[in-house]
Amino acid sequence: MKIDNAVVVITAGGSPSGRAMAEHFCSLGADVALLDTEWPALRLSVDQCRPLVGRVQPICLADDQPASVHDAFAQVIQLFGGIDVLINQWQGDILPSLFDNGAWCDIPKTLTDTTSQCYLVVQHAAECMQQRGRPGVIINVAGVHLTPDTVANAMIGGLTQRWAKELSGLKIRVGGIVPLHRRRSTGDLDDELIRNAEYIVSNDSFNGRLLEASG
């Protein structure tokens, strides 16, 4: 897929990694919609993208509930006419050891919340891509907690493979990016996440697989 003039939706668009992704894809000529629930951080991301080639549009969600997610994607369709790429940044808590007896009360809810939020985003993006009627790309990226032991990272692999199989008939590819080592330099890791995301979008044969970012 060609990146210039593509419509790219980035979740957690106010986070440092979301901001870096947005700047990069805007610099390549893509139109970028940034989704987040935190307006000040979202505005900072938009301000840094304004001088670049591609258009950028902030969309601030009231919350992570289904109605807000639905409204956000409706706004993207209204503004840009469709969606070509979703960069879905997973937010997750640390996944405790199976022998951590104090964690059993919280971890089921954490798993459910993380998975349900990302499922909603992918579902809406896939529906928009299907309606657009041309090839699309969904990339699941480890978000704020950039370490190998997060709930998000534990879930990305299996769901990326499943969604790739489910959406292949619609010409929608699905890939994932996860960290290989614990974070040493946020900037270096952001750079590698960006390179990997660009590679997945540009490589039409990449589907159902993960790339590892070492940072």
Q: What confidence tens digit (pLDDT) does each residue in 42-91 have?
A: 999 999 999 999 999 999 999 988 999 999 999 999 999 999 999 998 87
Task: Give the pLDDT confidence score for residue 70 in this predicted structure.
Answer: 95
As a whole number of angstroms, the distance between CA 133 and CA 114 comes to 29
Q: Which pTM was predicted?
A: 0.89
As a whole number of angstroms, the distance between CA 91 and CA 33 comes to 18
- Residue type at 6 in one-letter notation: A
Task: Give the pLDDT confidence score for residue 214 in this predicted structure.
Answer: 72
- Residue type at 44 in one-letter notation: L
Give the range among 18-32, 86-100, 110-124 with minimum mean pLDDT: 86-100
Give the range among 7-11, 15-19, 46-50 with minimum mean pLDDT: 15-19
Q: What integer is the mean pLDDT of 124-137?
A: 96
Task: Give the pLDDT confidence score for residue 24 in this predicted structure.
Answer: 97
Task: Give the pLDDT confidence score for residue 181 in this predicted structure.
Answer: 60
Q: Is the dihedral of CA 44, 49, 51, 56 positive or negative?
A: negative
**Res. 105: pLDDT tops 60:** no
Task: Give the pLDDT confidence score for residue 103 in this predicted structure.
Answer: 53
Categorize the per-residue pLDDT at 95 as very low, low, confident or very high, splitting at 50, 70 and 90.
Answer: low
Categorize the per-residue pLDDT at 213 as very low, low, confident or very high, splitting at 50, 70 and 90.
Answer: confident
3-state secondary structure the chain: CCCCCCEEEECCCCCHHHHHHHHHHHHCCCEEEEEECCHHHHHHHHHHHCCCCCCEEEEECCCCCHHHHHHHHHHHHHHHCCCCEEEEEECCCECCCCCCHHHCCCHHHHHHHHHHHHHHHHHHHHHHHHHHCCCEEEEEEECCCCCCCEHHHHHHHHHHHHHHHHHHHHCEEEEEEEECCCCCCHHHHHHHHHHHHHHHHHCCCCCCCEEEECC
Task: Give the pLDDT confidence score for residue 34 in this predicted structure.
Answer: 98
Could you report the per-residue pLDDT of 141-200, keeping only the tens digit for each?
Answer: 986 454 555 666 778 888 999 999 999 999 999 999 987 765 555 566 778 889 999 999
- Residue type at 70 in one-letter notation: H
Task: Give the pLDDT confidence score for residue 64 in this predicted structure.
Answer: 85
Categorize the per-residue pLDDT at 117 as very low, low, confident or very high, splitting at 50, 70 and 90.
Answer: confident
Task: Give the pLDDT confidence score for residue 189 in this predicted structure.
Answer: 72
As a whole number of angstroms, the distance between CA 171 and CA 133 comes to 9
